Amino acid sequence: MSRRLEARGQSEDIVPKERWGVSFCVVTISGKPGSGNTALGQGLGDKYGVEVSHVGEAYRKGIEEHNIPVIDYSRRPVKTDEEIDEMQAQAIRRAIEMTGHPIIKESKLAGVIATEVLDKTDAGQKALSPVARILVVADENVRAERIQKRESEKNPGLEVTQEEIQDRTKNRWKRDLTRYRIIHPQLADIDPWDPESADKFYDFVIDTTDLTPEEAVQKVHEFLASRGMVNLT
């Protein structure tokens, strides 16, 4: 993947990650549905020419393998979550150990899992392997509106109110959090998507309530540049 750029009067094929001086090993993106996680992850991946892993796809595959209807998603075995979380940990660990092969990992618990991996990584390796953990937040009503729009586009004719979506997502998050606390004991008294109680899992929090996807990408880009992980311009 490359794009044509003009530099000092000459035309050159420059790979995006070289153009932007990408030096991070891992960027994780976490947040509740409707916060803009997926769009942000894909936007950064497109900008830098870096592999993006959307873990939601793995979850969907997992429930399909267990023959669980999507509507009964909450009935998936805890083992499914454990396997997928371990896959995430392995991918993050591999990217840290193999500098030069950056990845962007987008999932609900990506920041938590990255923190667990970093806690077991020696200081010298961490210094050589920059990791940025991003939490994406947005107003509850805005998140519900985005989910409603997305579901309407996927299922024309489907009628669901924002209130119904809010109730459904709140109940789902309560169930999921119970499951996550079984797998990750350090979440016992922590809401992993609350910027205050979960600050140990994140390096940067972005509120996308009033941002377009492009503006969100730019803000995270500026943060990464401030940490020396990419070139600003």
Q: List pLDDT tens digits, range 166-222.
A: 998 888 888 889 999 999 999 999 999 999 888 999 999 999 999 999 999 999 999
Fold of 15-222: Rossmann fold (3.40.50)
What pTM, to 2 d.p., does this model score?
0.86
Q: Judge contact between 60 and 166, C-beta under 8 A.
A: no
Strand order from edge to edge, sheet including 103-106:
51-54, 103-106, 26-31, 131-137, 204-207
Q: What letter represents residue 93's amino acid?
A: R
Alpha carbon dihedral 10, 15, 21, 23, in 10-degree steps, equals -160
123-158 pLDDT tens trace? 888 888 999 999 999 999 999 999 998 888 887 777
Distance in angstroms (rounded) separating the CA atoms of residues 133 and 61: 25
> Which burial class, exposed, middle or buried, applies to 221 when counting CB atoms under 10 A from its CB (0-12, 13-18, 19+)?
buried
Distance in angstroms (rounded) separating the CA atoms of residues 121 and 115: 10
